[in-house]
Amino acid sequence: MSSKVVHALYNDDDILMNAVKKTRTEGYRIAEVYCPFPVHGLDKAMGLAGTRLAITAFLYGIIGLGVAIAMMNFIMIEDWPQNIGGKPSFSFIENMPAFVPIMFELTVFFAAHLMVITFYMRSKLWPFKKAENPDVRTTDDHFLMEVDVANNDLESMASFFSRTGAVEIKIVDKDEEH
């Protein structure tokens, strides 16, 4: 079974937004939209679910805070207690004000680095990965909306997308692309 898609190319982000809204109203399934820059509100217009990356960032920050507390407690209290500036080295709580900058820095460090790794893994952006961009112009100044054909009439879809302001319309067989 061949999986055909329509590639509708637009040259303005406002026209693209209106086209996405009209396409969803018509009942067509948008597979992907390729843009040269982020378009505010496009994810909502496409009906995409909200991201949970903020939750993972919070959890990674908590991991960083835990590592900082465990590290400082072991190094400064248990393993090598030192009398620095007359401060007692008997408990973590007594020394915690001096440890706050380290706790903050490790919280930010873990959250930032683990979020980058999570983003690359979630986006499947591995080293030496071949680009999946269907049209090179979408890296410069054009926007491409990829819509599944399914059981729809190709001619009616092409006329619909030309009415939405598409400057170019192509029907592509995804199986032959790879």
Q: pLDDT, tens digit, for every residue of 97-147?
A: 888 999 999 999 999 999 999 989 988 888 888 888 888 898 899 999 999
10 shares its domain with 43:
yes
- Decide which of 106, 123, 140 is a domain's last residue: 123
> Mean pLDDT, consecutive 10-residue segments, the chain of 178 residues?
83 94 92 93 90 92 97 87 71 82 96 94 86 87 92 86 92 73
- Let me know whether 107 and 63 are in one domain: yes
Considering the domain architecture, whether residues 144 and 155 belong to the same structural domain is answered as yes
Show which of 78, 99, 123 is a domain's final residue. 123
Examine the domain organization and report whether 38 and 10 are in the same domain: yes
117 and 57 in a common domain:
yes
Domain count, the chain: 2
Query: In this structure, are 114 and 139 located in the same domain?
Result: no
CA–CA gap between residue 16 and residue 35 (Å, rounded): 10
Q: What is the largest CA-CA distance in the chain?
A: 83
Whole-angstrom distance, CA of residue 23 vs CA of residue 21: 5
**Domain span at 110:** 53-123
Rounded Cα distance between 122 and 52, Å, is 11
Report field, pTM of the whole predicted structure over 0.75: no
- Return the CATH number at 18: 3.30.70
The answer on 43 and 82 residing in a single domain is no
Q: Are residues 62 and 95 in the same domain?
A: yes
> Strand order of the sheet with strand 143-148?
30-34, 143-148, 4-10, 168-173
